[in-house]
Chains A and B, each alone.
Chain A
Amino acid sequence: MIKNEKQYKISKKKLKELTGQIARVSNDTGQLALRNQLLLASLNNTRQTLEEEVAEYDSLKKNKKAALKERLISDLPSLITEYKIVSGLTQKEFSEKLGLKEQQLQRYESDNFKSVTFKNLLRFFDLMGLEIRIKETKLKKTPQYKTLHKGTHSHRYK
Chain B
Amino acid sequence: MARDVLGCKQPNQSCMKMNFDSRGNLYQTVELTFKQFRKAFGINAGRLNKIDTAITFFKIFSSCGCKTVYIGGSFASTKENPADIDLCFDITPVDLEKLKKKFPEFFDFNKIGEIRKHKACHILFCDTKTTYLLEMLEADRDGNSKGLVKLRLKEGDDYD
Partner-contacting stretch, out of A42-50, A65-73, A92-100, A129-137: A42-50
Chain B nearest CB from A104 CB (Å) reads 13
**Interface: A35 (CB within 8 A):** yes
Q: Closest approach, in angstroms, between the C-beta of A53 and any C-beta of chain B?
A: 9
Q: Say yes or no: A38 contacts B91, CB within 8 Å.
A: yes
Q: In the complex, which residues of chain A have a beta carbon less than 8 angstroms from the beta carbon of B48?
A: 154
Interface residue SS majority, chain A: helix
- Contact (Cβ within 8 A) B112 A41: yes
Per the 8 Å Cβ criterion, residues 3-17 of A in contact with B are 3, 6-7, 10-11, 14, 17
A126 to B133, CA, bound (A): 41
Interface contact A10-B143, CB-CB below 8 Å: yes
- Kindly list chain A residues whose C-beta atoms are within 8 Å of the C-beta of B27: none
- In-complex Cβ contact of B142 among A6, A40, A44, A153 (8 A): A6
The chain B residue sitting closest to A17, CB to CB, is B132
Query: In the bound complex, what is the Cα–Cα distance between A119 and B126 (angstroms)?
Result: 46
Indicate if the CB atoms of B116 and A49 lie closer than 8 Å. yes
Chain B nearest Cβ from A44, distance in angstroms: 4
Please report the total number of B residues contacting A with Cβ < 8 Å.
37
Using CB atoms, name the residue of chain B closest to A34.
B96
Q: Mark A1-31, 1 if CB is under 8 A from B, else 0.
A: 0110011001100100110010001000001
Closest to A40 in B: B109
Do the beta carbons of A11 and B141 come within 8 Å of each other?
A: yes
Which residues of chain B are near A43, meaning CB under 8 Å?
109, 132-133
A residues near B23, Cβ cutoff 8 Å: 110
Nearest chain B residue, comparing its CB with the CB of A21: B132
Residues of chain B lying within 8 A (CB to CB) of residue A7:
141-142
- Chain B positions near chain A (C-beta within 8 angstroms): 23-24, 44-46, 48, 79-81, 91, 96-97, 99-100, 106-113, 116, 122-127, 129-130, 132-133, 136, 141-143
15 new A-B contacts at CB < 8 Å, known A38-B125, A45-B110: A7-B142, A10-B143, A14-B136, A18-B132, A35-B127, A38-B99, A38-B106, A40-B109, A41-B106, A42-B112, A42-B133, A46-B136, A48-B113, A147-B45, A151-B44
